[in-house]
């Protein structure tokens, strides 16, 4: 049913839950799993870094090594940590994911990646809408414009 699954994570608890759900669905449907994280920097480089093994030993590591200590470097280091933790979580479950790190506006980048023949997007909803009603802007834009099915993992107050 779902041959290509895109898990868009942000380092939050609901992002972690979305990742766990994506891993389970990957195993259930024998799908390919791509884990994506989007950072927003002032540079807005239209580049994508794909890494097969360790995020911190991929080509992004070379870029990070040349950056002076700065907010940008800290942002990118946090992003690599989010993806590295996701990779380790997936591998503990016997899943070898494809990893994608993008710099840009999150909803736009998720939709751009999803247009590459994905059947399902899974992402978490952090519940930060001021009214407490409705979906956040990223989730809302993805749900409204996705070229495929979208599974939104909500924060549960039952935990």
Residue matched to tokens 């580049």:
47
Query: Is there a domain that residue 146 lies in?
Result: no
List per-residue pLDDT tens for the chain, 159 residues long. 899 999 999 999 999 999 999 999 999 999 999 999 998 765 555 554 444 434 444 555 556 666 666 777 788 888 889 999 999 999 999 999 999 988 888 999 999 999 999 999 999 987 544 444 445 689 999 999 999 999 999 876 444
Structure-block tokens of residue 15: 């992002």
| Domain of 21, in residue numbers | 4-128
Query: Is there a domain that residue 8 lies in?
Result: yes
Give the count of alpha carbons within 13 A of 62, CB side only: 4
Q: How far is CA 2 from CA 119, 129, 130, 135, in A?
A: 5, 30, 34, 24
Query: Is there a domain that residue 143 lies in?
Result: no
Structure-block tokens of residue 47: 């580049």
Please state the pTM of the whole predicted model: 0.81
Structure-block tokens of residue 10: 């942000």
3-state secondary structure of 82: helix
What is the count of structural domains for the chain? 1
The CATH code of the domain that includes 52 is 3.40.50.620
Query: Is there a domain that residue 72 lies in?
Result: yes
Query: Is there a domain that residue 156 lies in?
Result: no
Q: Is the dihedral of CA 135, 88, 96, 103 positive or negative?
A: positive
Query: Is there a domain that residue 133 lies in?
Result: no
φ, ψ (nearest 5 deg) of residue 46: -85, 50
């Amino acid at each position: 049913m779902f041959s290509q699954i895109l898990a868009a994570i942000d380092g939050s608890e609901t992002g972690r839950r979305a990742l766990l759900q994506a891993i389970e669905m990957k195993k259930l449907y024998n799908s390919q799993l791509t884990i994506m994280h989007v950072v927003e920097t002032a540079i807005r480089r239209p580049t994508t870094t794909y890494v097969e093994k360790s995020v911190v030993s991929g080509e992004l590591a070379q870029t990070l090594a040349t950056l002076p200590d700065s907010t940008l470097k800290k942002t990118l280091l946090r992003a690599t940590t989010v993806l590295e933790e996701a990779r380790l979580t997936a591998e503990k479950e016997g899943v070898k994911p494809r990893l994608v790190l993008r710099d840009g506006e999150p909803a736009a980048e998720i939709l751009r990646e999803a247009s590459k023949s994905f059947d399902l997007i899974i992402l978490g909803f952090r519940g930060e809408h001021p009214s407490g009603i409705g979906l956040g802007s990223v989730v809302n834009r993805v749900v409204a414009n996705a070229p495929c099915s979208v599974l939104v993992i909500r924060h549960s107050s039952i935990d």
